[in-house]
Structure 1
Amino acid sequence: MRLLLWFIAVSALVIAVWLLWGGHWEQHFTLTGAAEWMKQAGPWAWAAGMGLLAADLVLPIPGTVVMSALGLVYGALLGGFFAAAGSILAGLCGYGLGRLIGEKAARKLLGDRDFERGRLLFSRGGGWVVALSRAIPILPEALSCTAGLVRMPFHRFLAALACGSIPVGFLFAWIGAVGRDAPGWAIAFSIGVPALLWLGARRIKWD
């Protein structure tokens, strides 16, 4: 029960940030607006884009728009690489934030019973939700923080994170590179391909 309350609280915090400042940020982070902002960093535009994706953990930044802007600036391949790397960086930041809460404090926060349930849940099935959530608003931030809090094995988390981030990053970079809005099948692709990748990755013997 406490684990569910933690997840709801983190999600509510993300939603609250969007409600307070989301409208302001969305005015500036159109595809062309984000691309122009990144270009101001000159040769470090890629780092600015990755920084924006990482900042999505605490700021209402539309990640898929930033990924598309990276594609507009660098093209589908290089932009896709930076977009995927930025998404992975964002996930690692969330995981690290959860791990900053020591295990003793995490057990006190969740209770021993919910902590063990959460660790078991994320150790067994957490890879699916991490991989499938990368293009969905709010969920990636909450899931990454929760995975870190309950000590999901880092190698499994990183593998699932990569399975979700790489296809999503390249997809939206391609969308930006060809200068079009996200087609209707983009969400299906963003869920289906990570699912297939994780289906293969989970067969690896991690331990």
Structure 2
Amino acid sequence: MLRLLLLVLVLLLVTVMPFLIWGGEIEARLAEDGVAGWMRQFGGWAWLAGIALIASDIALPVPSTAVMAAIGIIYGPFLGGLICATGSILAGLAGYLVCRLIGPNTAEKLAGAEGLAQARALFDRYGGWIVAGSRWLPILPETISFLAGLTGMPVRPYLAALTCGAVPLGFVFATAGYIGSDNAVLTIAICALAPLALWVVVRPFLIPHRASP
């Protein structure tokens, strides 16, 4: 168990370090003209700049929710929500695929065979819930994407759970930016609960049915 905790702590450190090194500088640059003002400099390509910013959150300290709100200001709640969800899905896929390429050997060196087996058992049983329910949280989504890749969580359920988490997040923050809402409690409640409700609906379609004898 201690080796498994070590693996989680190492991944958390990898996630947090860019915030400690570049976080202040990136936030200062984006705050100078406001995120929406910065994105409008790209003209018709503002949507692509927004997706790139959100997707880069896997490695850089980008205030992704502020970017999503700015996208909502520029593109409205529907198109803006689609753009935000796309960026969030790409961010989750990037961390997952990198760690899938690294393979379980790296995880086993840190967590040991027993720790890696525990992590795999956790993601085999609860991986979808963890991935779907964590997208709204700070820092943890990146760490969970890394863990899902290192433990070899299958692509199909991972992508489905990631989408369940990213779509409500993207549309809620795009809508909040568009209408200028500052109701943090409602925003967090929807982002926390809606992905789990979606996963309840989607999950049965991912479980293979056994043939009748």
Q: What TM bracket, shorter-length normalisation?
A: over 0.9
Asked whether the equivalents of residues 157 and 206 of structure 2 are also in contact (C-alpha less than 8 Å), the reply is no
Match of 1:41 in 2: 42
Distance 1:183 1:106, change over 3 A: closer
Deviates more, 1:84-93 or 1:18-27: 18-27
Cα offset, 1:32, TM superposition: 6.4
Cα offset, 1:63, TM superposition: 1.0
Match of 1:183 in 2: 184
What one-letter code is carried by the residue in structure 2 that aligns with 1:24?
E
Q: Paired residues, what number?
A: 207
Asked whether the equivalents of residues 31 and 66 of structure 1 are also in contact (C-alpha less than 8 Å), the reply is no
Distance 1:135 1:32, change over 3 A: farther
Cα distance in 2 for partners of 1:31, 1:160 equals 36
Cα offset, 1:26, TM superposition: 2.3
Cα distance in 2 for partners of 1:163, 1:118 equals 22
Deviates more, 1:139-148 or 1:1-10: 1-10
What does 1:96-115 correspond to in 2, within 5 Å? Answer: 96-115=97-116
2:30 is aligned with 1:21: no
Q: Structure 1: which 5+ residue stretches go unaligned? A: none
2:91 is aligned with 1:90: yes
What CA deviation, in whole Å up to 9, does each residue of 1:148-167 have, x standing for no partner? 01101111111110111001
| Structure with greater helix share of residues | 2
Identity of aligned residues (%): 46
What one-letter code is carried by the residue in structure 2 that aligns with 1:98?
C
Cα distance in 2 for partners of 1:160, 1:181 equals 27
What CA deviation, in whole Å up to 9, does each residue of 1:99-141 have, x standing for no partner? 1212344434432222222122112101111111111110000
Distance 1:182 1:52, change over 3 A: farther
Cα distance in 1 for partners of 2:191, 2:106 equals 35
Match of 1:116 in 2: 117
Cα distance in 2 for partners of 1:9, 1:111 equals 14
What one-letter code is carried by the residue in structure 2 that aligns with 1:95?
Y
Cα distance in 1 for partners of 2:198, 2:137 equals 17
Match of 1:140 in 2: 141
Instruction: Compare CA radii of gyration and give the structure with the larger one.
Output: 2
RMSD of aligned residue pairs (Cα, Å) = 1.8
What does 1:45-64 correspond to in 2, within 5 Å? Answer: 45-64=46-65
Q: Structure 2: which 5+ residue stretches go unaligned? A: 209-213
What one-letter code is carried by the residue in structure 2 that aligns with 1:107?
E
Cα distance in 1 for partners of 2:103, 2:195 equals 30
Cα distance in 1 for partners of 2:166, 2:25 equals 26
SS of 1:204's partner is helix
